[in-house]
Amino acid sequence: MARAPDWHHAPMAKGDPAPRWPLPGHAPKFANWSFGGGRPFGCNEDSCERWHAGIDLTKIPDGALVIAPEDATVIALDRGWSAGSKAQFLKTASGLFLVLGGFQPGSHREFDLSVGQSIKKGQKIGRVLGSYGMIHLETYGFPSDRKANTVWRVGNPIPGGLLNPTKYVESMVGDAPRPTPPPPLPTPPRPP
């Protein structure tokens, strides 16, 4: 897969030093190499339309709970996204603008979430749309007036304010559930 030639120049996102894994009960699965990768997936340099501006938190079932990774203010809910899913935009207390895409439409209503509301780390914010099967996460440094993400088009430089979310996502893994290892196999009896 092709990758943006300047992807490694995007500064790393620094937010809450201990953000929460946003998918409680689901082991972390994500591709930290996907930032700056080509879209559509698997494109070569001649067929890429845009670069991947985030990291996908993958293999998540329909209806899985999503929580806030850190204290934030809700900037937007139910924004158009992909494959029928919706996005939420959060402005964090630590100085990030987060884009989370992949929600069931209207799922924020189950948790009485509204635009302008202050939310706490770990607060329930919505549910994953199963046909999308993941939460896409983008991170930006925000001017106070940022209201949305920016598409990273092929041939354009890294969008202003876009931050590489790799280390931010990796810092979430410390509090995420780990898969339970299988029990040891029984020891076969020794021959007499």
Question: Residue 182: pLDDT above 70?
Answer: no
Distance of CA 122 to the CA centre of its chain: 15
- Per-residue confidence band for 71, with pLDDT thresholds at 50, 70 and 90: very high
- Per-residue confidence band for 40, with pLDDT thresholds at 50, 70 and 90: confident
Q: How many C-beta neighbours within 10 Å does residue 130 have?
A: 14
Q: pLDDT value at position 174?
A: 74
Q: pLDDT value at position 51?
A: 93
Alpha helices in 35-155 (DSSP H): none
Report the chain's mean pLDDT, rounded to a whole number. 90
One DSSP character per residue, 7-23 reads GGGSPBP---SSPPPSS
Task: Over range 91-97, report the average pLDDT.
Answer: 96
Question: Residue 124: pLDDT above 80?
Answer: yes
CA neighbor of 102 nearest in space, from 127, 135, 74, 76: 135
Strands (E) in 30-117, as ranges, are 38-39, 50-51, 55-57, 65-67, 72-80, 86-92, 96-103
Quick check: 124 and 107 in contact, CB under 8 A? Answer: no
* Residue 50, helix vs strand vs coil: strand
For 129-163, write each residue's pLDDT tens digit: 999 999 999 999 977 788 999 999 999 999 999 99
CB-count exposure of residue 190 (10 Å: 0-12, 13-18, 19+): exposed
Return the higher-pLDDT residue of 175 and 143. Answer: 143
* Interatomic CA distance for residues 162 and 120, integer angstroms: 24
Where do the domains of the chain lie, and which CATH numbers do they carry?
7-173 (2.70.70.10)
* Residue 175, helix vs strand vs coil: helix
Question: Residue 177: pLDDT above 60?
Answer: no
Q: pLDDT value at position 175?
A: 58
* Interatomic CA distance for residues 125 and 114, integer angstroms: 10
* Interatomic CA distance for residues 149 and 137, integer angstroms: 11
Least confident of 83-87, 113-117, 169-173, 188-192: 188-192
The percentage of the chain sitting over the pLDDT mark of 70, rounded to a whole number, equals 90
Q: pLDDT value at position 7?
A: 93
CA neighbor of 136 nearest in space, from 26, 23, 11: 23
* Interatomic CA distance for residues 73 and 98, integer angstroms: 10
Question: Residue 69: pLDDT above 90?
Answer: yes
pTM of the predicted structure, to 2 decimals:
0.87
* Interatomic CA distance for residues 110 and 151, integer angstroms: 30
